[in-house]
Copies of this chain bind each other. A is one copy, B any other.
Amino acid sequence: MVIPEKIKLALRRFEFHSQVDFDKLPMRDKKELLAATSKVLLKPKEILFSQGSNAVGVFVLKKGKLKVYQLNYDGSIQILFIYREGEIFGYRPLLSGDRQPVSVAALENCELDFISRERFLKVLRKSAVLSNQILENMSHEFTVLTNRMNVFAQRSIRERLALALLILNETFKTELCGSKPSEILINRGDLAAFIGTVPETLTRTISYFKERKFIRVNGKSIWVKDFENLFILSGIE
C-alpha cells in the first residue's frame, strides 16, 4: 500500500506544515524563546482561545490534535485547519494586530507550549533566522489556503470529502503507520464542519465511498483504501 508519488506531490499543495525548527535558531535566540515557555494541557473539546479575543502569544502543539474553526452567526461552525504535533500557531494576529480571527479547541488530549507575545516578538525582531522561517511557513500556508478556498468555492461535497480524506490521512499519520493508511479518528460533526457540510450529507457520502471500497469504516474511524480513485475523485488533477 504505497501512495503514488504523483498523489503525494499534488497533496503538498493542500497540506500545512507550520513546523518551525527551533534547532536552526542561534543558541542564544533559541534559549531566550524557549526558556520561559509554560505548559498548557487541554482535554477533548476544551477551548484554547476564541474568535475575537486578543492574541496573547504563540503556541507550539507538542501532543494531540487541535481544530481551528470559525463560528457563524447562525451557529454553524467551519473547521479551517486541523493541527497536529509540531505545529506552531497563533503568531499571525500578533503580527498583523488583528484580533483572533478563529477559535481553537482540542480534538483529543493535547499538550502545548506557550510563548508570551512579548518574548516571541522580541526574539522575532532580532532574529533573522526566525523571521525567515516564519515568512517561509506563512507563505506556504497561504498557498495552501488559496488552494483550499478554490476547492470550497467550486467543488461538490463528494470531491471535497475525497480531498479531505487524503489530507487527513497525512494529518493522522503516526510512526506506527509507516506507509500504511492512517486511522482517521474524528467524529462526524467535526468532519462535516471540516468539509463544509452537515453530518447527514457527510454520512451519505461516506456510505457512497464505502460501497465502492474507496475507504474502510469502523465506528468513528476511517481508513483510506483506494488512494488512486479518491485522488481522481477529488479533481485536484
Contact = CB atoms under 8 A, between A and B. Distances in A.
A237 B73 contact: yes
Given A73-B235, A139-B92, A139-B138, A149 B147 contact: no
Give the oligomeric copy count: 2
Contacts of A143: 92-93, 96, 98, 101
A164 to B, nearest CB: 12
Interface residues on A, range: 35 or more
Question: What is the interface of chain A mostly: helix, strand, loop, or mixed?
Answer: helix
A145 B81 CA distance: 13
10 contacts: A13-B98, A13-B101, A92-B139, A92-B143, A96-B136, A96-B143, A97-B136, A101-B147, A125-B132, A142-B142
Interface of A: 13, 70, 72-74, 76, 78, 80, 91-98, 101-102, 125-126, 128, 131-132, 134-143, 145-150, 152-154, 196, 235-237
